[in-house]
Amino acid sequence: MTGHKEVFWGWYIVAGSFLVLAVTYGARYCFGVFVEPLYLENGWSRSVISLAATINLSIYSIGAIFVGRLLDRVAPRWIITFGALCAATGFILTTLVKSPFSFYLTYGVLVGLGAAGMGIVVCGSSVGKWFIKMRGTALGITTMGVGFGTVALIPLSGFLGKYFGWRIVMLILGIITLVIGVTVSQLLMRKTKPEDYGLAPDGDKTMSTAPECRAPAESKIALKILFTDSRFWTIAICQSLVLVVVMTVFVHQIPYAVEKTIDSVSAANSLATVSLVGFFSKLFFGWLSDRLRDPKYAFFLGVCFLICGMIVFNYADSIGRFYVFAVIFGFGYGFVAPVLPILIIDRFGRHVMGSIYGLLTSISAFIGSLGPILGGAIYDLNGSYSYLWLVNVAILLIACLTILALKKDRPAT
């Protein structure tokens, strides 16, 4: 009887993380579908509505700190399970809101807290601990889940919202989050890192002697000098600026399209196209990062595509131009999820990834959370989104130049 080769458990972590990210980000990026219906039903301004997305991201950023540190000690399934229960409760309770305050509590606080437990910090860190040689590819596949979930859920939400109302959409998102989040986490996300189970990263038969495989105690030095390390702040600033732009687009793209007399379902499909293209480019940027001498150049390339996309977006006045924007911006958007954890491990090591990833995500998500409210305020002041897209171009140019200054080695102390 011939034996069969057992699948390396790291690939189960990749599969589980893919599905969890699909549900988490797919559901959260549907927010743009609700902006116009909430305005028409309640008369709330864009700023009032967008504040819920800002609160959501702020809570997510705070939760990321604790999730990252906890992930270095606890199996990811318990963190994800808690996140799924919390987010699902938030989505379902949002169907009952009657005031902005209750909307902020349910969607802003509860869904934001749940997203921290199901987000990229948990999934990216979990996958990063299981791979070294194939890290970029594994993270690229993992983060494709963000695009897959967005492509699947945004058009579905747009269609259901048009014919059944936004409350039904929120209810469905809550049920999907609960069922998939809990089931997948309990089945596939049970293990922490390969060394705890007598395994080596990448499924190798023997432990590597490379610096990345050294004992965790040796790597904890990075945490002690973290806040005086220019590399940490360079990455944090660049990621934050990119997230400001990405979140303004995901929240305000559909209202902008409707303003240009484009049907709401077509607008939702154009937003889904951003994620569809990003779905494939995530794998490209993960693959590219494995082959570049420094992953910061993958970050630089991604930002360049975002800049080109925003320039096209400023002149989009038809569904055709919206799709051109979606393809260009979507390809650049694909770098955001896979390249950050690769940069962190490249600079600080694999064993403290959870803690550092949590801190970086907290800072960047908090700053990024200003994007939706910034977009709403600019629109309310000018009655147009054109100024917002020009501001986005300037923000991305700063990020593009700053990432090139990222140092490879730890500065002398």
CA 187 vs CA 16, 25, 173, 184, 191: distances in Å: 8, 20, 21, 5, 10
pTM of the model: 0.73
CA 227 vs CA 217, 223, 359: distances in Å: 19, 8, 10
| 300-347: pLDDT as tens digits | 999 999 999 999 988 888 888 889 999 999 999 888 878 888 888 888
Q: What is the mean pLDDT of residues 97-116?
A: 94
CATH topology of domain 9-192+214-403: Growth Hormone; Chain: A; (1.20.1250)
Euclidean distance between CA atoms 270 and 151, whole angstroms: 10
What's the pLDDT at 222?
47
| 242-275: pLDDT as tens digits | 999 998 988 888 888 888 888 877 877 887 788 7
298 has a pLDDT exceeding 90: yes
214 has a pLDDT exceeding 50: no
| 8-42: pLDDT as tens digits | 888 999 999 999 999 998 998 888 788 888 888 88
CA dihedral 167, 333, 367, 247 (to 10 degrees): -30
| pLDDT category of residue 205 using cuts at 50, 70 and 90 | low
